[in-house]
Copies of this chain bind each other. A is one copy, B any other.
Amino acid sequence: MSKSKDLFVSGPVAVNLGLESFHRSLLEQGASSVHVDWRPPSPAAGLLTRLDGTAIDAANAEGLRRLVDSRAVLVDIRPAHEVVPGLDEGVILHAGPPVTWDRMSGPQRGAVIGALLYEGLADSPERAEQLAASGGVRFDPCHHHRAVGPMAGVLSRSMWVFVVHNVTFGNDAYCSLNEGLGKVLRFGAYSPDVIERLRFLEKVLAPALAEAVRRSGGINVRNLTAQALQMGDECHNRNVAATTLFLKELVPHLLASDLDKGTIGEVFRFVAGNVHFFLNLSMAACKAASDTILGLRDSTLMSTMARNGTDIGIRVAGLGERWFTAPAGMPKGLFFPGFSQDDANPDLGDSTVSEVAGIGGFAMAGAPAIVQFVGGTPADALRHTREMYEICTGRHKHYKMPVLDFAGTPVGVDIRKVVSTGITPVINTGIAHRNPGVGQVGAGLLHAPFAMFEEAVKAFVEDQNRFEDNRGSPKGD
C-alpha cells in the first residue's frame, strides 16, 4: 500500500540498463532515473564455460608471478644492429602488429621515411617513399625482435637502444632513446632537424649515457618505477618524476667518467629538458616482463597489446605468437594549440606494453595530475584504475599507489574477464597527426576495442579443444 502511494507522491523512477544515453535523456527531461552500467553478454562469454578453469587459473597465477617478479635492470645502451636480433640490412622495425606499407598509417609512414633518410638509404623523402613502396624495405614488428617502440615505433640499425636485462628470468629487451615531444620521428616527422636530432642521439647522447650506465653496474628500472608511482607518475604518459630520478642515478657516474663537463652538461640538459625521457626505458622494462609469459601454456593473460596506427593487436600468453587485431581506435584528449580531433591519427605505438605490465592507464589513480595532459578529471583517473581491477588477475606487489592506501596496481589482464565484464583495457597515449611529416598534436585516452578479445577467447577455446584432442582426452561436448 505505502509503496504504491509513494509512486504517486514522488513520481516514478526509471531504472535504466544498458545504453547510458537513454538515462541522460530522461534526466534532461526532468525525470528521475538510475543508470545501471550493464551490457548484454558477448556471445563469446558463453564459450568461457567450455574452458578448463582450474588449469587456466594455475597458469595465470604463474603468469602473474612472472609479470610481477620480473626485475628489469638497464645494463647497457648499444647500437641496435649490435644487439637486436634479426635487425638485418634492409629491415625496419615498427610498432604494433604486422602491417604492410600500403596499409600503414600516415605517422608510421613518416617515421619510415625519416629512418631511411637517417640511415642514408634514401636521399629525399620521395625516394624514401618509392623505396618503401617498391618492397625494398622489409617491415617487421618490434615485438618480434624483443623490442618495443613508442608511437610509430620505427627502429633502424644505427639507432641506439636501451638494453634492459630481466634479472629474474634472464631475458633481454630493447627500446630506442626518447627524442622529446612535438616534431619528432616517432610521431611521423622527418624534416632535417628531426634527422639532426637523431644524429645527436647517436653520436653524443647515447654513447655518453652508455658510459655512465656501464660504470653504474646497472640501473634498477623496477625500483625507479616504483618510486615514481609514489610521486604522481603513472609511467606511460607522465614520467616527470621517473625521468628526474633516472638522471639522479646517472649524474654521479657521468661525473666519474672521462667525459668533459661540456658534454655532461649537454647530455644533462637534453634529458632534463624532456619529461618523457624515461618512457622508452620503462617500455623496455615492461617488454622484458611481458615477454616472460609469451607462450605460457593454458594462460589467458594478455601478453601483448600494441598499435600501428591502422590496427591494434593483442597476443595471449597461451596462444604464443598469434595476433588478434581490430581497427585502431581514436583517442579522445587534449590537443596542442592549433590542432584538433580532426588532425588525430588512430591509436599508435607499442607503449601499451605499460598497461600489459600494470602501469600507465592502469595506475592512473596515483597520477591525478596527468589529466592536465590527457584530459578528464582526477575522479576519472581513479575510476579507470578501479575498473581495471575487474579484468586483472592480481595486484602488483612492487608498484603501489599511496592514494589507494598503497594498493598494488592492477596487473595481468585476463581475456576471460574482459569478455565476461565487457570492460576492455584503458590506454593513455600520445596523439600523432594523421599525415606523415607533422608530429605530435596531443595526448588522450581510449579503451581497447572489445572485438579482438572475443576473437581471442574463441581461438583459445578452439586451441584448448585441439590440445585436449591431441592428448586423447576429448571434452564431453
Q: A-side interface residues toward B, CB under 8 Å?
A: 227, 230-232, 240-241, 244-245, 247-248, 251-252, 255-256, 261-262, 264-265, 268-269, 272, 368-369, 371-372, 377-379, 402-406
Beyond A244-B245, A378-B405, 18 additional pairs, beta carbon < 8 A: A230-B232, A241-B244, A244-B244, A248-B272, A251-B251, A252-B268, A252-B269, A252-B272, A255-B261, A255-B268, A256-B265, A368-B403, A369-B402, A371-B402, A372-B402, A378-B404, A378-B406, A379-B405
Q: How many copies does the complex hold?
A: 2
- CB A245 to nearest CB in B, in angstroms, measures 7
Note all chain B residues with C-beta closer than 8 A to A248: 244, 247, 272
A403 near B405 with CB under 8 A, answer no
> Which residue of the partner chain B has the closest CB to A227?
B240
B402 near A368 with CB under 8 A, answer yes
> Which residue of the partner chain B has the closest CB to A262?
B255
- With contacts A241-B241, A378-B405, A402-B378 taken as known, whether A251 is within 8 angstroms of B232 at the C-beta atoms is no
B264 near A402 with CB under 8 A, answer no
B405 near A377 with CB under 8 A, answer yes
Note all chain B residues with C-beta closer than 8 A to A227: 240
A251 near B231 with CB under 8 A, answer no
CB contact between A255 and one of B252, B265, B377, B404 (< 8 Å): that residue: B265
Counting chain B CB atoms within 10 Å of each CB, which of A231, A247, A252 scores highest?
A: A231
- CB A6 to nearest CB in B, in angstroms, measures 13
Q: How far is the CA of A269 from the CA of B255 in the complex (A)?
A: 11
- CB A47 to nearest CB in B, in angstroms, measures 41
Note all chain B residues with C-beta closer than 8 A to A371: 402
Note all chain B residues with C-beta closer than 8 A to A377: 405
- CB A287 to nearest CB in B, in angstroms, measures 26
Q: How far is the CA of A450 from the CA of B255 in the complex (A)?
A: 52
Q: How far is the CA of A371 from the CA of B406 in the complex (A)?
A: 10
CB contact between A261 and one of B230, B261, B368, B404 (< 8 Å): that residue: B261
- CB A391 to nearest CB in B, in angstroms, measures 25
CB contact between A403 and one of B251, B269, B372, B403 (< 8 Å): that residue: B403
Q: How far is the CA of A357 from the CA of B245 in the complex (A)?
A: 28
> Which residue of the partner chain B has the closest CB to A257?
B261
Q: How far is the CA of A265 from the CA of B404 in the complex (A)?
A: 38
Counting chain B CB atoms within 10 Å of each CB, which of A245, A264, A379, A403 scores highest?
A: A403
> Which residue of the partner chain B has the closest CB to A271?
B248
